[in-house]
Amino acid sequence: MIGLLTIKLLLAAFVLFMVMNFAGLHTWIERKQSALIQDRIGANRASIFGFRLMGLFHPLADAIKMFFKEDLIPKGADKTLHTLAPIFSMFFALVAFAAIPFGPPLEIGEQTIDLQVARIDVGLLYIFAMLSLGVYGVILAGFASRNNFAILGGLRATAQMISYEIALGIAVIGMIMVYGTMDLGTMVEKQGALIGGWLPGWGIFVQPVAFVIFVTAALAETKRAPFDLPEGESEIIGYFVEYSGMKFGMFLFTDFVETIMVACVATTLFFGGWQVPYLGPDGFHFPWGSEILVSNLVYVLLGISSFCFKVIVFCWVFMQIRWTLPRFRYDQLMTLGWKGLFPIAMANVIVTAIVLYMIGGTV
Amino acid sequence: MTRKVVRRPELTFWEKLYIPQILSGLKITSIHFFRNLFLHISHRLGMFRNRRAAVTYQYPEELRPLMSRYRSRHRLTLRDDGSPRCVGCMLCETVCPAKCITIVPDEHPDPNVEKFPVRFDIDLGICVYCGYCVEVCPEDAIRMDTGILDLASYTREGMRLDIHQLMDPELRQPVSDCNLDFPHQCTVTGEEMKGSWDLVNKNAEEETAGHE
């Protein structure tokens, strides 16, 4: 028997390994996807022994370059906070992954292992708390740099986060009402039920309005175009203007990690997490009556790959949006957040409450 | 003065919703994405080679097609026997607005041909690529159709082309020994290479020395 701690450590290592690698690959995805969208080829010159592998070595080259750059801390800046800011930023983005269930329970002998680093009863709250704390690093970077542009970027980030977190939270309240729980594992399990015998009970079919609001607000949380006002590279360079080398790289990296984070949350809440349509713990049960039975291991593997597939699709969509839409003006951003998303999210909660009262209880 | 009122079109409700507009934008980018992805994969498999997936030219390996009238590096055209068609009439040197052409003509051994160039030098460092020399030449002896664009050198001297390089665009300086036969006379005057930049430099040095 393996100890619980060992299992949890292994799971954490697995999640970190996957997330960090995928985030590193995101630089490649970003370059190549934008290139495809804009009829270009994209970075493809970095090579090892003449092998280019479609530019897959560029993230590696980037990392090497970042590590060898001079690390500057401006005169008059707060050294401690200046150093801590990227660490905070990165830390909170990574820690949030602990609550994401990425696969169905795995049975090894007598033991049942939840494929989730930490099964927290208020997992959803935990994730939102960590996402909110993520902006802490950004604000610190702005304040500690002793640069007016950096402070502007930090303030913009703060205002943006606060405005959109409200919409984000209220959008999710509808989900909590429907599923009657804040535990992400239970939420995913409940999404396995079928609506009317054929439609998977995924969050997007139950709460489509909440999904749109959630994705919009979540995009704003990641601080990437069209919501990259904290960075605003053409006006103010943003909160990381005084950063260089790998510290700067960590801020960039955090953006990618947050994108993956948001994709994971969207998958978990609205696209059934690791659920495969019509797949139960013992096999497929199709609405037309046929059945394919699978073992527990196959079930788990199918679940994990389903989760990964959905996350990758979400990342693709986010990247596509990032390369389609230009940046919002600041007043437009605030208008959208306060006059657009916030009332709609509130209306969604009220309508959900009324409907739930009429049909009596949770789904 | 009249005042013109510019009426900006009001956004319709449909446009204010953002979402349909965002979707139409996503449609455009997605069409490009999937079209190019499909073409790139097809190219790897050797299909649809004639349709480009990207507008990019991978420069050092892949050169852009040039227009036929494009003015690139000069060359001197040759007769059937390999000697330059140039008759040393000096028209190109005269017309050149940048004064980058230097010709030293000599009497041709063949009585049917009046003169030939002993030296024909072009300093590409000051050439403006106007093409007048090509237009003015009565013998079609100089052309700018080599298609060579990547002219770069670490020194100003490196930009000077002598008759060897002009007759054979493949050649690069320094030209170690004269490979031209009749009527070019590289080694006529003693040990000096007549018709190469070495001589010009030496003469220039002597000239400046004389002035001093």
What local confidence, expressed as pLDDT, does residue B195 receive? 47
List, as one string, the DSSP characters of A92-141.
HHHHGGGG---EEEEEETTEEEEESS---TTHHHHHHHHHHHHHHHHHHH
**pLDDT tens by residue, B19-43:** 888 899 999 999 999 999 999 899 8
B54/A35 CB distance under 8 A: yes
| Average pLDDT, consecutive stretches of 10 residues, N- to C-terminus, chain A (363 residues) | 81 91 91 91 85 86 91 88 90 90 84 83 89 87 88 89 90 88 87 81 87 90 85 83 90 91 91 85 80 84 92 93 89 89 93 88 58
Helices B19-44 and A296-322, interaxial angle, to 10°?
A: 110
Q: Which of B22, B26, B54 minimises the CB distance to A41?
A: B54
> What span, in angstroms and rounded, lies between the C-alpha atoms of A321 and B70?
42
Which of B17, B51, B56 best tests the A interface by mutation, with the highest count of A CBs <10 A?
Answer: B56
What local confidence, expressed as pLDDT, does residue B168 receive? 81
B26/A320 CB distance under 8 A: yes
**pLDDT tens by residue, A288-311:** 878 888 888 888 899 999 999 999
Helix, strand, coil fractions of chain B, as percent rounded to 5: 30, 10, 60
List, as one string, the DSSP characters of B41-106.
HHHHTT-STTS-S-S---TTTSPPPPPTT---S-EE-B-TTSSB------HHHHH-TT--EEEEEE
CA of B71 vs chain A CAs: smallest distance (Å): 28
Query: Residues of B with CB below 8 A from A39's CB?
Result: 32, 36, 53-56
What local confidence, expressed as pLDDT, does residue A2 receive? 66
CB B183 within 8 A of CB B120: no
What local confidence, expressed as pLDDT, does residue B199 receive? 47
**pLDDT tens by residue, B144-165:** 988 888 888 888 877 888 888 8
Q: Determine contact: B152 vs chain A, CB below 8 A.
A: no
B26/A41 CB distance under 8 A: no
Residues of A with CB under 8 A from a CB of B: 33, 35-41, 212, 320-321, 323-325, 336, 340
CA of A43 vs chain B CAs: smallest distance (Å): 11
A324/B25 CB distance under 8 A: yes
Query: Residues of B with CB below 8 A from A323's CB?
Result: 29
What local confidence, expressed as pLDDT, does residue B133 receive? 93
Nearest Cα to A142, choosing from A70, A81, A59? A81
Query: Residues of A with CB below 8 A from B25's CB?
Result: 324-325
What is the predicted ipTM?
0.86
